[in-house]
Structure 1
């Protein structure tokens, strides 16, 4: 009798254990299936992000190239805008800003041999700031912007 009870209990335990294992196995299979789906989705998202990253890198490289080209253009434009400028040194400080234009016109006329008629059109003229650590007796340079590059060239290419 004890043996029969033990056998029955063992069979019952085996059946319950089998049912539990089957239920747990079914749950695990569903969880693994969900994990595979999530992993596949994550892989797809990773591939998409990687492609976007590569596109961004290409765009950044392209933008850097464009910025470099634009900086070169700006430098060229700035250099060209200064072509008609001339720096004149050692003009006495006693000449006021109001009299600077007439002084420069006379100075430039005398610079051309024989004072021949010449276009002396100036757009702007002004004294430059005194360099740092320059003595008080230092005469500030005068920057003159001629109306055309040809006018500037007629005085020679030496800017000093």
Structure 2
């Protein structure tokens, strides 16, 4: 007898695409008769373990952070204390340096005042030395332009003739020379220019008469127009006279007569009054009073002002 053929169970489309686990669960539910799903006794304990671990981990992290914060606070307090100590030490050193600098500035200013006094005394001493040197040359005259063809032996006769030309009424006895010779040619002079001649007159009056006669513009013309005669002065006096050039030029331009005094000063006579100018600044002020101000800038050096040494001022005192 043939067994009856099994009928194929038809599967719907939804069941075909359902997950296999869901199918198994449904099958179990059918076998269980719709009862509740059994739960293992330790399920609740296992579900609480992650929360307890997280709380312990959080407490541990908080403890580490608190410990680190305490260490950082302690370290920062120590560093701040060290910094405050160093700042106090720097402040103390700065105070000492400021006090020392104030002492140095005071000592420098006192020394600067002393230097100014010494400079003033030195200028006075140099003027006196120059005056003494000029007095030792009071009998001397310097002659420029004497031809080199005039020999040393013929210098005395040649110069005597010049003086007789200037002073026709003078006698030969008064024109005695203690010495007469040529000077070395200065480096700035032209190579072919004749050397200057310097002489010392035995008597002082002929020397003054010669200089007085030279004030006339045509005194040496025409036969001796190549000759120039000067008083013999020290280099310091010549330089000091050059410093007065800006004053003397204005005086000459306005027709005001003047003459030189010793030590170097200008003796000016104007409108019946006699004026003594001892410095360039004093001469400039006097010219302004007279309305004779200089036209244009001057390149002549002026006498250095007193108190030119720089003073020190402690700037920290200005706070």
Q: TM-score, normalised by structure 1?
A: 0.62
Compared with structure 1, are the counterparts of its residues 86 and 3 closer, same or farther at alpha carbon in structure 2 (3 Å cutoff)? closer
Instruction: Give the helix-richer structure, 1 or 2.
Output: 1
Q: 1: CA distance between counterparts of 2:185 and 2:81?
A: 89
Alpha-carbon deviations, 1:112-153, whole Å to 9, x = none? Answer: 38x6xx79572x2224578967x98x8x87533245xxx221
C-alpha root-mean-square deviation of aligned residues, in Å? 4.1
Q: How does 1:9-158 map to 2 (within 5 A)?
A: 9-86=64-141, 96-98=151-153, 111-112=170-171, 120=176, 122=178, 124-127=179-182, 142-146=197-201, 151-153=203-205, 157-158=209-210
Higher relative contact order (CA 8 A, sep 6+): 1
Q: 2: CA distance between counterparts of 1:86 and 1:15?
A: 102
Query: Structure 1 stretch 10-19 or stretch 51-60: which is displaced more?
Result: 51-60
Distance apart, 1:29 and its partner CA: 1.5
Q: TM-score, normalised by structure 2?
A: 0.36
For the pair shown, the structure with the greater C-alpha radius of gyration is 2
Distance apart, 1:92 and its partner CA: 9.3
Paired residues in the alignment total 148
Please, which runs of 5 or more residues in structure 1 have no aligned partner? none
